[in-house]
């Protein structure tokens, strides 16, 4: 998750690889928090939507050729995998805290 946070916006291929790894890691997920931990789950729920926002994700000061390449990597490699991972995390996450069982 730290790798995704620090390098994602500048290297969409690496970000895609991180998302694929997290996707495979969470194959049998029952709860996002128990799979990734509370902190990482919350981080992913903030990072992934911002990285999937084209305006935010591709707002770099590159020359036009590099900008086109960066956009192509984002669209074809990162975006599909990150969207699936985000959907999986969202469908297995709740902001509710479990009730304690009275003794």
Nearest to 32 by CA among 76, 74, 86: 86
Give residue-wise pLDDT tens across range 4-62: 999 988 899 999 999 999 999 999 998 999 899 999 999 999 999 999 999 888 877 67
pTM of the model: 0.84
Output the pLDDT for position 44. Answer: 96
Torsion on CA atoms 31, 34, 40, 41, rounded to nearest 10: 20
Domain ranges of the chain: 1-92
Cα gap 54→71, rounded to integer Å: 9
CB neighbour class for 28 (10 Å; exposed up to 12, middle 13-18, buried from 19):
exposed
């Amino acid at each position: 998750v730290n790798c995704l946070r620090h390098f994602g916006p500048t290297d969409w291929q690496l970000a895609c690889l991180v998302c694929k790894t997290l996707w495979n890691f969470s194959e049998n997920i029952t709860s996002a928090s128990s799979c990734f931990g509370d902190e990482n789950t919350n981080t992913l729920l903030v990072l992934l939507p911002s990285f999937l926002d084209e305006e935010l994700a591709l707002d770099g000061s590159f020359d036009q050729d590099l900008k086109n390449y960066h956009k192509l990597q984002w669209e074809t490699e990162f975006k599909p995998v990150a969207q699936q991972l985000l959907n999986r995390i969202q469908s297995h996450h709740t902001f509710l805290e479990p009730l304690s069982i009275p003794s």
